[in-house]
Each structure stands twice: as C-alpha cells, then as structure tokens.
Chains A and B, each alone.
Chain A
Amino acid sequence: MDQSEISDAPRAVTSIWPPVVLLVFAIAVLIVAWGYPAVAARFPVMVAVAMILLVILDIWSRTKLPGAAAVDAFGGTDFRRREMMHNPTFANQAECVGWIAGAFALMATVGILAASPIFAAAYVRLRGKRSLGVAALVGLGVLAFQVGVFEWALDYELYRGLLFTKGGVSAW
C-alpha cells in the first residue's frame, strides 16, 4: 500500500487496534461455539476460525512486516475509498451516540408519542443550535406525522412508555 494512502486516513482507522478487537471477539466466539453440541457448533466454529485467519491477515497488512504488501495486493487494505472521510473527535462521537441512546431511553420511559417531539426539538435546539421556533416546528411536525400516520391512519397504538405501561421491561 502506498504510504500516502495510509497517512490520509486517521491513525485510529489504520492502526492494528480495530482488527485486534475483532480478533479477541472471534476467539471468544470460537470458545463459546466450541461448547455447543457437534452439529450446532460446526458452522459457527468454521466461521470463527475463518474470521480469525482473516483478521490476522488484516493485522499483518497494517504492519511493516515482510509480506504485508503481498497481503494488501490480494486482500486489499486500501483506505482510499473510505465511506467516512472526516475525522471527528472521540468526545464528538460519544456525544452523537449518546443522543441516539437518549432517544431510545426517552421512548422507553415516556413512550414514543411523548418522546418524539421532546427529542426532535431538543436535538434541533441543543445540538443544531437552531432557534426555539424551528425546534418547536420540527418537534410538532414529527408528532403530527406519528399521530397522523401511525395512530390515526393505521390505528396503531404506539408504545406509551415504562411510566405509563404495566409489565415493565418484561413486556418488551
């Protein structure tokens, strides 16, 4: 691989750590699968072993060890066509994932209908830094769609949330 191609991609992406994590995962899967009855274990074991071999090749291709270029020529560890060309900070990534997790937490707690306008408006206002009016408009728009399409047109009762539903998490 051309070194300039590697340098264009963030170090976090090209480093050996992503495949190392996958290697640990594949080994764990192999250990678990090994404990299943023979027929049930056969395919997962085969796939886990194949994955371990592929991940080792992936790690190898990211090093400067002899043969790494040959591995790249066959298997391709090209980072030129990355889907994500920007390089956000860890804090920013954690914040975005947190927003998505927050959407689920809100839906689960107060229900989908109540959560939708709250989440939409909060996101537009707090993360998008848009005016209160725009935030309210988006929130109300989402609510109108949810009520109009799901509750009225399709006569479907959306989840009302742990606070207002019997059965708790076991009802999920």
Chain B
Amino acid sequence: MGLDALLEAFLAVLNGGSFLYLMTGVILGLTFGVIPGLGGTTALALLIPVTYTLDPLNAMYLAGGVMGATSFGGSISAILLNTPGTAPNAATTFDGYPLARQGKAGLAIGAAATASALGGLIGLFTLLLFIPVAREVVLSFGSSEFFLLTVLGLAAIAVSVKGKLLRGLIAACIGLLIAFTGANQFTGDTRFTGGIDYLWDGIPLVPALTGLFAISQMIELALKGGSVAEDGGRGEAVKMKITGVGSGILSVFQHWTVLLRGSIIGTVIGAVPGLGGTVAAFLSYSSTAQTAKDRDTFGTGNIKGVIAPEAANNAKDGGSLIPTVAFGIPGSAETAIFLAILVLHGMEPGPTILLQHEREVYGLIVALTVSAVTASIIGLLLSRVLVLITRIDVNIVVPVVVLLSLTGVYVLEGRMADVLLAVAMGILGYLMIRFDYPRLTLVIAFVLGETAERSFHQIRLISDGEVFGYMLGRPISVVLIVAIVITFLLPTMRSAMARRAGA
C-alpha cells in the first residue's frame, strides 16, 4: 500500500465515468453547502439510496465529491449570509461576514477558496505521511484521553469566543444537557424525555444544527430587514467589490504559516473521533487569533480569520478517514452517514478494510482532494455571481432558506417531529443571538457530550473512582490537562499583561 495505490486512484479518477460521478458530487456538495442548514450530512443522506446501484469505487467518488465540496460551499454562505452552510464553517463567519459587510466579499471568498484547496492538499499529504503511524497513535488514546480531548475542545472554543468566556461556558452546559436527553447509553435509563417517545434516541444532530444556525439566523435577518449586505450603522446596502478575489488568493500565500498551521490542526483533529471539522476549524481560528500580533482585529474582518478555519476544515477530511474507515468510529454526523454508505457496499469498517479495500480507500482520499480543489475553482469562477446573493432582499431570502432548510430536515429521516425540533431549536438559537450567548459552544458541547459522558464513566470504572489519579498516571492525559489549564488561563494572563504594560 502507498504510492502505487495512490497513483492508481488518481489515474482511475481521470476515467470519464468516474470523473463524472466526482463532479456530480462536487456540484451537489457546493449546492448543499451553500444552502444554509442543508450541508454535507443532508446531501450524503439523500445520496445513500442513489449510491446503492453504483460500483463501490464510483460510490466513493460521488460521496467524496460531496464531502470535499460542502466545506467550501458552506464557507460561501458563511461569508455572504453569516449563516454557516455546515457547522465547521461557523468559525469563518467571525471574520468572513465582517469582510463581506465592508464590501470585501470577493477578498474573503478568494482566500476561503484558496485556503480550502490548499488545506485539502496539505491534509492529504500529511495523511499519507501519517498513515504508517496513525494506527498506533489512535490506539494509544484511551477513555481518559478522549474525555480530556472533549474538555480541551470545549475550553478552546469557549475561550475563542472572545469576551464571552462565561456566557460561552453557560451555553456549553446547555449543550451538554441537550446531549444527555434520551436513553443513557451506559445504563439505558431515559433522561429529560418528558415521556415523549421521539426523544428516547436523543436530540438528533441535523435538525438541531439546522435550527440553531439556519432558522435562528433567518429570524435575526428578518428583524434586521434590508438586504443581507448592509452597513449596520447606516442601513445602506454596501456595494460588493468583487475585484478582490485575486487579492484573496494572494493573501493565503502571504499568510502561509496560518495556512500550514490550520492544515496540520485540521488533519490531526480530524483523526480524533468525535471532534471533527468544527473543533478543527475553531482550534485553528483561536490559535491563530491568540498568537497573532494583530489579534484585536480578529472578529472585525481579519483575512487570517478566514484562512485559518477554512484550511483546517478541508484538511480535516483526510484525517477523519482514519478513525472512520480504520476503526469504524465516525468523527461527525457526516462521517456517520458515510459509514452507512461503506457498509451498504460491503465494506465493513475496521482495521482490515485497508487491506481488503485498498483501492476504494485510496479512491476516496483522491476524491476528497480533487473535489476540494475543483470546488474551489468552481467557487472562484462563480464568485461574481455568488456575491450577488448578499444583495437580495432579506424578505426573499428568509422564506426560501426557511422552507428549504425545514424540507431538508424532513427528508433526512422522513419525520415531521424533526422539523418541529428544528423550529424549536431555531427559536432557542435566536434567543441566544439576542441575549449574546454564543451558539457555537452549545453545539460543540452537544456534539461532544455523549463522548465526554461515556469516556468519563469508563474512566470511573477503570480507575475504581480515582479519576484524577488515573489521568495523572497517563502521559498523554497529563499533556492534555496542561493544555486545558493553559487554554483557560491564556486570555486572562494576556489581558493582565496588557494592563500591566499599559499602566
């Protein structure tokens, strides 16, 4: 396994039929990524029955095309609408949307496209270098490390929501409590269901995310009125300058260290089950923001705030294949659905898959890489048209996005209860926007809650109740504990130092 298999996969993708499947996946991924609330999870879920009739390799190209393209598609709506097409794109809104409102949407899209493409490529190369040792690394992670990783992920995100640490942590608590709804996976006891059967399996991820991001954003947008791109202070539509696309491309090369760090963070985090693209994008964003000299400009339209999460978001696709394919542990809702496609085609995830289905696995890696690059090229070519989205009257955008999002939620499982949940989560999300409680920490906690609880119970069982002592006896855990403490203290230490310097 190695270079030969990779070359074979690259040559195979050039075959007319396979390339057609890949491009179909890319177009679908871009489309579903751009439409807020749909994203790759919905696209893949809709594709499951479609891939059934395909050759396994072509199914990989189709699915890989979708997975590789949705991240960039999602960044377009994140930049233009402040509504991430997929959860990981939420980090892009912090600086992408302010840039769009300043009339620099072209700059942001150019940077996002280039960072996505290069991040995907770097992720692939890092993955190829990492594959020989990947198994040992992932196997060395026990329940203690999984638990601490979830805490680290939460801490990093709460800290990265600048000036809102306390409210970010409160939102995280709400997210954890939402995650605990339903039957406890450890004991089977049902919690917080209120006697509603629908809640026994817990709160489903996709309707919750759709509500928290798409619906709530639409409520806020409807209240704001006007067109999407406005100068908040004056209420005047900003003329979108689309000539900045070239500068956006160039800015990625100017900030190559940001790109490289984001790509490496993306690949490594992507390889850790349960974390995935959202954590990768936010870790990349926060680490860039915290170490930058111009950190005060983050959140107001700093181009590095677009490059960092986009590079990580695409680079994570390569890394996420390791636990998903090799261990059958999905890192996200998207990879969970992807697992279903693997099983549908007779590829049982596990350590043997790399030996028995080498062709398909490398085919998928190639599909993800090619789709990331082609999606960026297509996105760049269409950026002049895409920028026009921001000039549309919100009174047209709102009903369209609401209807398509709610329909997408319904299609996933065919349950109207999911649609109702999305509406409820939308209202919750709006209240969080209104009262300035960050939604992202809630979502991350919601996603990681199950892993955190399961890992914690496992540690208690293994350590006979001596949880902390057990953690301190494991070197990787100690490193993670130190990282958590530093993450929490860093902003306070920095502000104290700034005050001392100013005194």
Give chain A's interface residues, CB within 8 Å of chain B: 9, 12-13, 18-19, 22, 26, 29, 32-33, 36-37, 39-40, 42-44, 47-48, 50-51, 54-55, 57-58, 61, 71, 73-86, 88, 92-93, 96-97, 99-101, 103-104, 107-108, 112, 115-116, 119-120, 123-124, 127-130, 134, 138, 141-142, 145-146, 150, 154, 156, 158-159, 171-172
One of B220-228, B267-275, B340-348, B365-373 contacting the partner: B220-228
Q: Does the CB pair B174–A112 fall under 8 Å?
A: no
Q: Does the CB pair A39–B187 fall under 8 Å?
A: yes
**A100-B218 in contact given A57-B166, A154-B46 (Cβ < 8 Å):** yes
One of B13-21, B109-117, B407-415 contacting the partner: B407-415
Q: Does the CB pair A104–B423 fall under 8 Å?
A: yes
A-B contact sample (12 more), CB < 8 A, given A156-B411, A158-B411: A37-B187, A40-B184, A40-B186, A44-B180, A58-B166, A75-B165, A78-B162, A97-B219, A100-B427, A146-B403, A156-B46, A171-B416
8 A Cβ contacts from B103-138 to A: none
One of B66-74, B282-290, B430-438 contacting the partner: B430-438
Q: Does the CB pair B170–A55 fall under 8 Å?
A: yes
Contacts of B50 in A (CB 8 A): 154
**A50-B403 in contact given A93-B223, A156-B411 (Cβ < 8 Å):** no
For the complex of A and B, list the 4 residue pairs with the smallest distance between their C-beta atoms, beginning with the closest. A128-B395, A78-B163, A75-B166, A51-B173
In the complex, what distance in Å separates the CA atom of A54 from the CA atom of B457? 24
Instruction: From B166, B406, B491, give the contact of A103 (CB < 8 A).
Output: B406
| Listed residue (A19, A43, A115, A138) with the most chain B CB atoms within 10 angstroms of its CB | A43
Nearest B residue (CB) for A157:
B414
Q: Does the CB pair B191–A44 fall under 8 Å?
A: yes
8 A Cβ contacts from B437-466 to A: 437, 452-453, 456-457
Contacts of B472 in A (CB 8 A): none
In the complex, what distance in Å separates the CA atom of A115 from the CA atom of B232? 33
Nearest B residue (CB) for A130:
B395
In the complex, what distance in Å separates the CA atom of A138 from the CA atom of B59? 35
In the complex, what distance in Å separates the CA atom of A39 from the CA atom of B406? 36
**A88-B223 in contact given A43-B456, A79-B436, A81-B162 (Cβ < 8 Å):** yes
Main secondary structure, interface of B, reads: helix
Instruction: From A85, A112, A128, give the contact of B396 (CB < 8 A).
Output: A128
Quick check: is B33 within 8 A (CB to CB) of the other chain? no
Nearest B residue (CB) for A120:
B399
Q: Does the CB pair B410–A92 fall under 8 Å?
A: no
Q: Does the CB pair A108–B416 fall under 8 Å?
A: yes
Produce 1/0 per residue, B293-313, CB < 8 A to A.
Answer: 000000100000000000000
Q: Does the CB pair A83–B433 fall under 8 Å?
A: yes
**A142-B419 in contact given A13-B436, A77-B166, A81-B162 (Cβ < 8 Å):** no
Q: Does the CB pair B165–A96 fall under 8 Å?
A: no
Instruction: From A32, A37, A124, A158, give the contact of B395 (CB < 8 A).
Output: A124
Contacts of B419 in A (CB 8 A): 104, 107-108
Q: Does the CB pair A124–B396 fall under 8 Å?
A: yes
In the complex, what distance in Å separates the CA atom of A32 from the CA atom of B150? 25
Nearest A residue (CB) for B453:
A43
Nearest A residue (CB) for B197:
A170
8 A Cβ contacts from B151-185 to A: 162-167, 169-170, 173-174, 176-177, 180, 184
Quick check: is B192 within 8 A (CB to CB) of the other chain? yes
Instruction: From A84, A128, A129, give the contact of B220 (CB < 8 A).
Output: A84
Shortest distance between the CB of A134 and any CB in chain B (Å): 8
Quick check: is B140 within 8 A (CB to CB) of the other chain? no
Q: Does the CB pair B407–A150 fall under 8 Å?
A: yes
Contacts of B481 in A (CB 8 A): none
Nearest A residue (CB) for B198:
A172
Shortest distance between the CB of A18 and any CB in chain B (Å): 4
**A123-B223 in contact given A55-B170, A81-B162 (Cβ < 8 Å):** no
What are 6 A-B contacts with C-beta separation under 8 Å?
A18-B435, A40-B189, A48-B177, A115-B403, A120-B403, A172-B415
Shortest distance between the CB of B40 and any CB in chain A (Å): 16
Nearest A residue (CB) for B438:
A83
Nearest A residue (CB) for B97:
A83
Instruction: From B46, B170, B222, B435, give the contact of A96 (CB < 8 A).
Output: B222
Contacts of B46 in A (CB 8 A): 154, 156
Q: Does the CB pair A47–B430 fall under 8 Å?
A: no
Q: Does the CB pair A142–B192 fall under 8 Å?
A: no
| Listed residue (B50, B166, B215, B491) with the most chain A CB atoms within 10 angstroms of its CB | B166
Instruction: From A40, A47, A79, give the contact of B187 (CB < 8 A).
Output: A40
Q: Does the CB pair A36–B191 fall under 8 Å?
A: yes
In the complex, what distance in Å separates the CA atom of A156 from the CA atom of B48? 12
Q: Does the CB pair A150–B187 fall under 8 Å?
A: no
Nearest A residue (CB) for B186:
A39
In the complex, what distance in Å separates the CA atom of A19 from the CA atom of B165? 14
Q: Does the CB pair A58–B219 fall under 8 Å?
A: no
Shortest distance between the CB of A166 and any CB in chain B (Å): 14
Q: Does the CB pair A142–B404 fall under 8 Å?
A: yes
Nearest B residue (CB) for A23:
B170
Contacts of B55 in A (CB 8 A): none
Q: Does the CB pair A84–B173 fall under 8 Å?
A: no
Q: Does the CB pair A99–B436 fall under 8 Å?
A: no
**A127-B222 in contact given A84-B433, A145-B404 (Cβ < 8 Å):** yes
**A54-B169 in contact given A37-B189, A88-B223, A172-B417 (Cβ < 8 Å):** yes
In the complex, what distance in Å separates the CA atom of A4 from the CA atom of B220? 24
Contacts of B215 in A (CB 8 A): 100
Instruction: From B192, B222, B407, give the contact of A99 (CB < 8 A).
Output: B222
Nearest A residue (CB) for B299:
A81
